[in-house]
A and B are shown apart, each in its own frame.
Chain A
Amino acid sequence: MSDTFVFSDELTCFATRVSEAVRKGARFGGLFATREPSGTRLLVLLEEGAIISTDSVVVQDAQPQYPALSLEIPAAAWYEREIHDLFGIEAIGPRRLDPLVLPTTTGSSRPRTGSGTTKGPIEIDPTPLSAHLRGEGVFTIPYGPVRSGVFESIEYLVETPGEDILHLRARVFHKHRGIETRFEGMTPADGVLLAERYEGVASVAHAVAFSSAVEQIAGVEIPEGAGLLRVLHAELERVANHLESVIRHCEAAGQAVAFARFSLHKERVQRLRAAISGSRFGRGVVIPGGVSGPPGLGASALFSSIDQVEAGVRADLRLLMATPSFADRLRGTGIVSPEVARQFGALGPVGRGSGQMADARIDRPYAAYSLLGLRSIEHRLQGDALARQRARMDEIEGSFHIIRQAIDRMEHLRAGKMQWAVPVDLKLNGQSIGWAEAPQGEVLYIVQLEEGRLTRVKPRSASFHNLAMFQAAFPKDVLTDFAFIEASFGVSIAGVAG
């Protein structure tokens, strides 16, 4: 197909450079687009340990196509679909660009976020996914978008063309809220409130990644106390999310008592977060320049509540994992092979169950992580739901370890004069990238400011990056495993749909 297209040298070289870098071991961090007056700029992020490098090229309006990166980098496929939905430019390659976040009717305009944008009416085509496959023995099972429990909306279509094969397609546009466009023109102070709502269960991580980008543009360092409080909230957020994943597993396995127990532990964590910040999701804590104020609980109260929560969680996790019917259900379920995980650059616990150990807290320490000792996590290669679950358990323990150090350090600082934020220039200009390790994996924010107003914000959630691999975890027709595999991915749909 690609031979019918002739691309400019610029576009061809761009694709070659990116493929080359990934072949040499760089991790593909994502492909993003922004409108510019003369065309659409494509920006790719490549991560090599401590360094994030960028490469970019402009796709001219006269020929709104570019050579697909997903030819060589499978992880790029969902980004190409997203860019097609939101900007109308096409990646030319072997894959079809099925709508993902915004299926539009013919003739509808696209959001095309960035500068120099003209927006016409955008018309969404909500027709359900139709079966690709036909024939004898083929059956098709649609799920969603309204789920059968208290879950976020998403549409899946499962097709089984043969005994051992299964095709799974997902679309998330039902929840697409158009947040990227809403950022435009906001001040950074308002933008952080919106970032908190991009993927609401990871509010703190999103607020930290967004604010770090603004702080880099401003060239300011946040005070140590602010960094420590960010860490405290981010780690409590991690514990709450991982407990949520355990709850979902218990629910799928019909473990009613364990379900109730872990729900109780999670409720305690949420209440602790509210006691510290006034919000059960730690909202309003992180602001560009630092944090909004001191924690609402003192060190001794914090220590004793952490002790209580940890003791309960640890005892129940030990018991749960010793319940044979539970562990057996996860063992061998939903395998993401280390090879697939490497190709897709799997993030967070999904990656860590399949040998991908990248962790922004370690690779590129932010907030106050460089001051604190982080426990290393066991290297696992099984790639099944059990391995992902065990990675989360390690992380819960690790979080408590980090939280204690953070409280301790904060207490020492408090003796001296404590500062919670530094001022950020109100007329900032520039562009930068911020990051944070959310419970789901690394969150990235590309932030662009002109005269103190946001002109472009592109969040990249780990949920988006990881859900692209969901299909790979269903090698066989095992629909009874669906709930487990979904729970073990721990994806927030809001963070995928945008």
Chain B
Amino acid sequence: MPWIPRGLREGVVTSRYPRRRDGYGPVFRAAVRVIDAADATTRIEDSVAACPTGAITIHDGRPRIDQGSCILCGRCTELRPDVFRFDPGFETAELRREALVVPEITESDEVLRLASAELGRRVRALRKSVHIRHIDVGSDGSDEWEVAALTNPVYDVQRLGVFFTASPRHADLLLATGVGTVGMLDALRQTYEAMPEPKVVIAAGVEAISGGLLGRGYASHGGIATTVPVDVFVPGSPPSPFSLLYGILLAIGRLSTADRAPGGRSPRSQGKDLGTARSDLYSEGFGMEGRI
């Protein structure tokens, strides 16, 4: 078998996340945020109009971004770099739809605590191993690549006791990608119903959260939340494998609260400039350890 030595030659390529931070994490455009100190009061309407998904709204004279519909096109950051910036990192998933709107609508920690406690009770049994059923409900096809990448040697989710299963009857977690097409709604509902309790649903990607750029239409429901109850929302268009992994770990309660900085962004990645991060990425061999 000439394959085996070749496999070993690469050295360790597998990420150690979440036990250790991963070099690839902070280099990725993951979310847009409003710069705190920005004077966002002047001519901000231009950015609102330029946003292709209507993700930017204005409240009390200040802009707010719905990361559940933002497709990371970069138009706002280009137009008003003094107000909007890309937040690197991948810890973007949230337990509540409202929490994706930043800066947060003043929301008491109590609400979040309740949501995560409730989810925690449901998933207590899943600490050791978890089985995921993926379902495509109208994706553009790229989401499936990112979900499938979780089983490649770099992300290797099996090391964390996370497995994909074909049978909904053996699944604990439903991972849905796509806008929620009318043609898939029955299949989505049936798959959800066939899963045993306790079950958790992840809406993966802004398409599954809000319909993304497509929104609602004659064939699109603008996300899956009107069909099945969603527990975890993972933004991105498509979400990167690390974003998905973070969402999965969040769903099964594998992240301690210390891992979750306010707003779900790790303190280390916050504010790190993407330009320098990119050169790090290169010197680290795209963030993968071992030889390339």
Contacts and interface: CB of A to CB of B under 8 A. Distances in A.
B141 A275 contact: no
Contacts of A152: 136, 139, 141, 144
A475 B71 CA distance: 44
A177 B72 CA distance: 21
B12 to A, nearest CB: 12
Contacts of B145: 201, 244, 270
A315 B2 CA distance: 12
A280 interface: yes
B229 to A, nearest CB: 19
Given A179-B214, A275-B278, A263 B149 contact: yes
Given A124-B182, A275-B286, A177 B220 contact: yes
A415 interface: no
Interface string B142-161: 11111111011110000000
B24 interface: yes
A274 interface: yes
B105 interface: no
B292 A308 contact: yes
A463 B71 CA distance: 25
Contact of A149 (B10, B143, B166, B288): B166
Interface stretch (B116-124, B183-191, B264-272): B183-191
B238 A151 contact: no
Interface in B83-133: 86
Contacts of A174: 138, 181, 183-184, 187
Nearest to B13: A264
Contact of A258 (B3, B144, B164, B218): B3
Interface in A164-189: 173-179, 181-182
B65 interface: no
A384 B37 CA distance: 62
Nearest to A124: B182
User: In the complex, which of the residues A119, A255, A283 has the most CB atoms of chain B within 10 Å of its own CB atom?
Assistant: A283
Contacts of B7: 257, 260-261
A292 B72 CA distance: 14
A493 interface: yes
A267 interface: yes
A279 B29 contact: yes
A148 interface: yes
A291 interface: no
Contacts of B13: 264
A264 B187 CA distance: 32
Ordered nearest first, which 7 A-B pairs have the shortest CB separation? A200-B140, A200-B142, A263-B152, A148-B166, A178-B219, A174-B183, A257-B3
11 contacts: A124-B219, A126-B183, A177-B217, A200-B140, A200-B141, A257-B4, A260-B7, A263-B151, A266-B152, A283-B73, A319-B2
Interface of B: 1-4, 6-7, 10, 13, 24, 27-29, 52, 71-74, 86, 134-149, 151-154, 164, 166, 178-179, 181-187, 191, 212-215, 217-220, 237-238, 240, 274, 278, 281-282, 286-288, 292
